[in-house]
Amino acid sequence: MTTAQPSSQTACATAPSAAQVEASCRLPVLFLAFSGAAWLCAGAVLALLASVQLYNPAFMEGCPWVTYGRLRPAAVNALAYGFALQSSFALALWLIARLGRVELSAPLGLTIAAKFWNVAVTVGVFGILAGDATGFDLLEFPLYAALPLFASYACLAAWALVTLHQRTERELYVSLWFVVAALLWFPWTLSTAQGLLLGWRPTGVVQAIVAGWFGQNLLQLVLTGSALAVLFYFVPKTVNRPLANPGLARAGFWLLLLIGGWGGLAQLAAVPAWIPAVSGAANFLVIVPVLALLVSLWQTAEGKIAESWKENATFRFLLVAAILLLGVTLRTAFLGGASMQFTFFAAARTDIVLLGVFGLAALGALHHIVPRLTTGDDELPSSGLADLAFWAAVLGMLGVGVGFSLAGFGQGAVNASASKDFLKDGVTGIAGNLKLVTAGYAALTVAALAFLANFGLAVRRCCANCCGGAR
Amino acid sequence: MKYGPILGAGAMFSLACSWAALVMAPQIQLGSLAPAALPNSTEIYPPARPGLAAQGAEVYRSLGCAQCHTRAVRQTQALYGVRLNELGGPASLVPGGADGKPLNLDLLLALAAVRHDLAIAPVPLPPALAGDTNVAPKFGLFETNRAILLRNDVKSGITRPSSGPTVNELAAKLPATILEKVSVEEGERGVKFLSDAGAKAELTFYNFGPDLDRGWGARRTVAQDYVNDSPVLLGGVRVGPDLAGLGTRAPEKFAAPWKYASTNTAAEFEQHLLVHLYNPRLLAKESICPSAGYLFDKQKPEVRFAGEPLAVPGKDTPVFPKHEARALVAYLLTQRADVGVADAPVPAVAKAPAPKTAGTNAPAKP
């Protein structure tokens, strides 16, 4: 800031106004946000249907398209690619435009690329239901969906980076670090994993290792990173203070980048022992950066948390997302090893990161962004629907997380001792917990619908304003 | 931070680190694994899947069976033992045992050194051999060494029982289990002692773990087991039983135990798996596995070879398994990851009993 470079001077002179920035974001960000929420709804419904089959096998029996083995991967991938990644694009574009004080380049192109992304996700979900799943967690889309997915991502990321390059505010804020890392990181991991698993196909368990590495990068760095970008943007904004302790945030950021990609393989079976050992150690070490980042946020908001909770819908979402981030990090560190291998406890991490850490942070951010881009207000038209979305999402997340975790403890006990009966203790014995999971997905569906309804109201009000009272 | 490229380079560097460690390094270590000959055998493991089973692997992937079934057996502990197979060659044997059997006097001393909990009885020189200048000194030497051994016992605080079984009886009936469920060092030491005495001994293996107790396999699964698979479907959650050793699983080890009704066990096993696909709850009432009834025809299909119809329990008319059902069963029958490989041996004889009994036969702690 102190060294006045000629280029930045001219840049400052031509910096667009907030209204201009928002106008450029309107089409692509609203489209991505709306499709993301719609996929959240669709994915939660698919996951709900799948979870019912875990205790009621006769439910929708007799059709291969809706059997558990296809519904569950369809649900997880719809949530990961349709909801989570798509919403993360919306957030990334918004953060780059706002923090860089720059108009989005090629908003129409971005919208078209986003459209293709949605087509690819739809094709992929139907591909899984039709039986073309690849069999790798979080990477189940068949090749004919994976390629267009990567192509549309390349367009989205390229335009996002072009916009970033044109920013008039040269200083990169913490949120943008996470956004840039995710924008560079995701295409590398995705292309590596797709190239290896769908193209070249290495021998044997290397495939499982690559899939685990990709899943870890997607969950820990791309999606958790996006959630942190949102937290670092909205927490100081909501409490109206500058970020306390940016040095801590910087250390946390670099450590998370360095350590985050090493976890995720701690529960892999039939691989050389050093791989789970290294991953397990990384799962522990990652507590340090996560704590550093959360402490930095805590110091920023300290003393104003209760006040902001009451006043601001976005802040409520973010607070729960931050607590979940801490929870899922500790949970993976302490119970992410052999004791909970092959159980729902381990599998639930995907759900908690997708829907809890990232999902709640994204919904919270969208409760601020969508009204800014439509009506120009700071909040969505219906505060009742916003409350409903919040409580349904939190309760839903609790249901899914607690239900799967308790079921996992039951399965873990069966795995640990042959004296337990597999069917009685490990299958029918956990049915009650899995019913909680079904209720959780139902609540998450309600949350998505409440947000979509609020979204619709905002768009309608915006249109009514623009059309100058056509009615 | 002001410069995007620095940020980008840092991010790329940290990604490159995790890529090198978790993608490149495993590929270097495991990428060249291939089906290979088993130890001391010409048999190739894992064997190539026959065509029908290879098609079944695709059905397994397509239906998402791996969402509920793992194919990975875990093992919590591996212990070792020593088995004595032969007393030894002519050079180490002397005549003079009971019933005219030969004796290996060095072996008796070695056994006594390995098994501190057994007494070593004196071996009298048979009167018939008293004049044999080849044999008699050996008996004298044995008695001297035995005395030294017993003196050393006292020094190192070993008290052998005065009555009960002796190492002499242990060596009389072959093959004999010398050590059971001991550490690898103790096992290898035992084999070395016995081999040095001219006998033929081998290391035996005991694998433990809840999965093995449940009868899901004979050993843990290792990377070698999956080199013929693509995609490799290890599974992540055990909603259903593990399948890595399904092809050799005993009927009583199923989640819902059953029994063979005839001697044609192969056909019956196949039949059992087909019924499981048709409706798992006909075999296990509590099963939550969805029925794959769509893999079966109700009418005899109009193809030249429709295969044998499947008699469904509790149903008058048989159903006709489609090609996919037969392929899937063929694939399941190839799941037999219980052949001993170099880094995961299996017990050569009877399966190890539950670990509760571990240590009863182990040597007493000095």
Q: Helix or strand or coil: residue A263? A: coil
**Run means of pLDDT, 10 residues per run, chain A, 471 residues:** 43 75 91 97 97 93 92 97 97 95 92 96 97 94 94 94 92 93 92 92 92 95 96 94 93 95 90 93 96 96 91 94 96 92 94 96 96 88 94 97 96 92 92 96 97 94 75 47
Q: Which residues of A touch B288 (CB under 8 A)?
A: 53-57, 427-428
- Which of residues A303, A325, A355 is at a domain's end? A303
Q: What's residue B176's pLDDT?
A: 87
**Residue showing tokens 């182990």:** B362
Verify that B168 and B237 share a domain, yes or no: no
Range of the domain at A368: 311-471
- Statement to judge: residues A288 and A434 lie in one domain: no
Residue A274 included in any domain: yes
B249, part of any domain: yes
Average per-residue pLDDT for chain B: 86
Cβ burial of A256 (10 Å; 0-12, 13-18, 19+) is buried
Determine, yes or no, domain membership for B340.
Answer: no
* CA distance to partner chain A, nearest, from residue B49 (Å): 14
> What percentage of chain B reaches a pLDDT higher than 70?
93
Residue owning tokens 């019956």? B268
User: What pLDDT, on a 0 to 100 scale, did the predictor assign at position B113?
Assistant: 87
Residues A223, A317: one domain?
A: no
Say if the Cβ atoms of B1 and A134 lie within 8 Å: no
Domain boundary residue among A248, A273, A303?
A: A303
Mean pLDDT of B274-287: 93
Q: Does B294 sit within 8 Å of A64, measured CB to CB?
A: yes
Q: Answer yes or no: do B118 and B171 share one domain.
A: yes
Residues A49, A77: contact at Cβ < 8 Å?
A: no
Any domain includes A151: yes
Chain A nearest CA to B303, separation (Å): 23
Q: Which of A351, A407, A423 is nearest to A84 (CA)?
A: A351
**If DSSP codes are grouped into helix, strand and coil, which group holds residue B179?**
strand
| Option in A68, A136, A205 nearest B67 (CB) | A68
Question: Is residue A187 in some structural domain?
Answer: no
Token pair belonging to B124: 């009298």
One-letter amino acid of B119: A
Please report the number of interchain residue pairs, chain A to chain B, with beta-carbon separation below 8 angstroms.
Answer: 227
**Number of separate domains in chain B:** 2
Q: Using the predicted structure, report yes or no on whether residue B105 has a pLDDT greater than 90.
A: no
pLDDT value at B9 more than 60: yes
- Cross-chain residue pair A427–B235, CB shorter than 8 Å: no
**Residue B151 belongs to what domain range?**
78-208
Please give the tally of structural domains in chain A.
3
Indicate whether B50 and B102 sit together in one domain.
no
Chain A neighbors of B287, CB-CB under 8 A: 57, 423, 427
* ipTM of this complex: 0.92
Q: How many residues does chain B have?
A: 366
Range in A350-359, B112-121, B302-311, B318-327 the model is least confident about:
B302-311
Q: Of the candidates A47, A40, A79, which has an alpha carbon nearest to the alpha carbon of residue A66? A: A47
Q: Which of B13, B18, B246 to mutate to test the interface with A (most CBs of A within 10 A)?
A: B18
Give the pair of three-digit tokens for residue A53.
């089959």
Question: With 50 as the cut, is the pLDDT of residue B354 above it?
Answer: no
Taking the CB of residue A378, how many other CB atoms lie within 10 A of it? 12
Chain A closest-CA separation from residue B288 CA (Å): 5
Q: Are residues B216 and B72 in the same domain?
A: yes
Mean pLDDT of B118-144: 83
Is A76 domain-assigned? Answer: yes
pLDDT number for residue B306: 64
A265 CA to centre of own chain: 20
B278 within some domain:
yes
Which pLDDT does position A338 carry in this prediction? Answer: 87
Q: Give the best residue of B61, B252, B288 to mutate against chain A (max A CB count within 10 A).
A: B288
Question: Taking 80 as the threshold, does the pLDDT of residue B99 lie above it?
Answer: no
Going A42 to A219 to A268 to B54, the CA torsion angle's sign is positive
Instruction: For residue B314, give the CATH number of its domain.
Output: 1.10.760.10
* Chain B: closest CA distance from residue A463 (Å): 38
Cβ–Cβ under 8 Å, residues A360 and A321 = yes
Amino acid identity, residue A178?
A: F
A162 with A204, same domain: the answer is no
Do A253 and A342 reside in the same domain of the chain? no
Are B91 and B175 within one domain? Answer: yes
Please answer yes or no on whether B19 and A210 come within 8 Å at the CB atom. no
Tell me, what's the pLDDT at A468? 61
Is residue A66 in some structural domain? yes
Q: Which residue has the higher pLDDT, A468 or B264?
A: B264
**Residues A91 and A227 reside in one and the same domain:** no
Q: CB-based contacts of A62: which residues, under 8 Å, 6+ apart?
A: B291, B293, B294
For residue B349, name the pLDDT band (cuts at 50, 70, 90). low
Do A177 and B7 touch, CB atoms closer than 8 A? yes
The burial class, CB within 10 Å (0-12 / 13-18 / 19+), for A390 is buried
Q: Which letter does DSSP use for residue B119 in this model?
A: B
Contact between chains at A192 and B23 (C-beta distance less than 8 A):
yes
Length of chain A: 471
Nearest Cα to Cα of residue A267 among A344, A362, A190: A344
In a domain, B344, yes or no: no
Say if A220 falls within a structural domain: yes
Q: What are phi and psi of B79, to 5 degrees?
A: -120, 165
CATH number of residue A102's parent domain: 1.20.120
- Which of these three, A258, A275, A303, is where a domain ends? A303
A418 with B214: Cβ contact below 8 A:
yes
Lowest mean pLDDT among A11-25, B75-89, B101-115, B347-361: B347-361
As given in the structure block, the two tokens for residue A15 are 């910096």
Taking residues B231-250, report their average pLDDT: 92
Question: Residue A135 to residues A128, A211, A369, B91: CA-CA distances in angstroms?
Answer: 9, 10, 36, 61
Q: What is the mean pLDDT of residues B325-350?
A: 85
C-alpha span between A268 and A289 (Å, rounded): 24
Assigned domain for A176 exists: no
Contact criterion met (CB below 8 Å) for A80 and A137: no
The last residue of a domain, from among B178, B193, B208: B208
Query: Looking at B215-365, which runs of residues are DSSP E strands?
Result: 296-297, 320-321
Q: How far is B38 from chain A (nearest CA, A)?
A: 18
